[in-house]
A and B are shown apart, each in its own frame.
Chain A
């Protein structure tokens, strides 16, 4: 694996820091007119998701991380592992609950997610930005209330709970933005 010097640091570059794979978010060149040059770097730890800031001396370098993002189809969960498949090679990967993290509550079989591989093993899972899920539990709908505001919690087939308008009923499918957990609308019938 190669190394990258601070002047090559840019958003999206994957590097190893303190033994963990990280993605560079931002790199700012800082140099007082009469002083030393530094690189002030924001990195996201790909294992924990935490973003932190660290300052390097200009010219320092970091090892590159063997990290890549792949589109994969979610197959099923066996209770312990979540199984994914690369649609072109049919190669299957299993990710543990730690790698899947919060994405678990949006995973619907056959949806295509981004699986981040580190040294060939799943490190993180990003669900699609929008998913269509069925409401499995909510308070009864109020007729004639479609025009007014107000909402209520609804439990979806994957276990996620989102706020939905009052008129929606159990059994209806809705579209949700997974980045904000916000209701986007009723799913179109087809």
Chain B
């Protein structure tokens, strides 16, 4: 066993498929006049996301962090006037390893000026259909998925009601702490695996997430006058592939969210990193209205190759890197 540890874990055929996939993606954007950009992967600033941990490196005697996504760099470029742009390359997240996660992974992220989340969802569907040769694309609001699968309104149900639904469908070793933990559990454990219930793989787009899970998306009232995040996700075969926003462009609100994230991390004994105040400055200077989305390329390749685990599409996953 140990003598073969130098070998890639992925079949060479899948690694060749990776090369054509990357070329396909670049052609897709080149034909649409979306420009490829590079951003720093080594930065003095880190993510503020409450549930994502940065990998800390050292550089010139001071801490630096590996980028968990190209988001801050790309948004600074958009604010500076670069126009429609994308990044296709590596991103890093500490502690994320499993059948669908590797701490170092390949991410595609792009921004479209003047678009909202629904316009960008169409393009995500087009890219996925093009790459995976799947024609069926379905869209659901977050609420309608919960009503359909669990008969509960995720925005209006009380915490007690949500806990009761969790207790009905899942066995946990802990008591869920709040609404978002209940919703995350139900979405990831119950709804995602049932999205392609009829066995045929399709592209599923989910929009209007709970306002408490807005991250960097705008919050607006939906048709029932409930505030929802203008955020969407894309799934194929029950696997989460992409997360997009109609982007927040309001600088004071961005600063408030960074501060709220920081408080959450402090209260939950998570590492607190220096936040990206230059993004707030970019928004103050005026970032054009835009929508942006990030997509996991390794998972896309898993689907293209019919692979069950991420190490079947990465040459040297973390255990062999």
In the bound complex, residues from chain A placing their C-beta under 8 Å from that of B99 are: 28-29
Knowing A31-B101, A38-B185, A38-B188 touch, does A56 contact B51 (C-beta < 8 A)? no
Q: Is A54 an interface residue (CB 8 A)?
A: yes
Of residues 20 through 65 on chain A, the ones whose CB sits less than 8 Å from some CB of chain B are 28-38, 40, 52-58, 60
A6 CB to closest chain B CB (Å) equals 10
In the bound complex, residues from chain A placing their C-beta under 8 Å from that of B276 are: none
Of the stretches B13-21, B28-36, B165-173, the one at the interface is B165-173
- A28–B192 Cα distance when bound, in Å, is 14
Knowing A34-B49, A37-B51, A38-B188 touch, does A56 contact B174 (C-beta < 8 A)? yes
- The reply to whether B240 and A55 form a contact with Cβ atoms under 8 Å apart is no
- The reply to whether A35 and B51 form a contact with Cβ atoms under 8 Å apart is yes
In the bound complex, residues from chain A placing their C-beta under 8 Å from that of B101 are: 29, 31
In the bound complex, residues from chain B placing their C-beta under 8 Å from that of A146 are: none
- A69–B131 Cα distance when bound, in Å, is 49
In the bound complex, residues from chain B placing their C-beta under 8 Å from that of A40 are: 189
Contact of A52 among B171, B174, B184, B188 (CB under 8 A): B171
In the bound complex, residues from chain A placing their C-beta under 8 Å from that of B98 are: 28-31
- A36–B95 Cα distance when bound, in Å, is 12
- The reply to whether B188 and A7 form a contact with Cβ atoms under 8 Å apart is no
- The reply to whether A55 and B189 form a contact with Cβ atoms under 8 Å apart is yes
Chain B interface, DSSP helix/strand/loop, else mixed: mixed
Further 15 A-B residue pairs, CB within 8 A, beyond A29-B96, A32-B187: A7-B97, A29-B98, A29-B100, A30-B188, A32-B188, A33-B240, A34-B243, A35-B180, A35-B184, A36-B180, A37-B95, A38-B189, A54-B172, A55-B172, A55-B189
Q: List residues of A whose CB falls within 8 A of some B CB.
A: 7, 28-38, 40, 52-58, 60
Sample 27 A-B pairs with CB under 8 A, ordered by A number: A7-B97, A28-B99, A29-B98, A29-B99, A29-B100, A30-B188, A30-B189, A31-B188, A32-B184, A33-B240, A34-B49, A34-B51, A34-B213, A34-B215, A34-B231, A35-B180, A35-B187, A36-B180, A36-B181, A37-B96, A38-B188, A55-B170, A55-B171, A55-B185, A56-B172, A56-B173, A58-B95
Q: List residues of B whose CB falls within 8 A of some A CB.
A: 49, 51, 95-101, 170-174, 180-181, 184-185, 187-189, 213, 215, 231, 233, 240, 243, 294
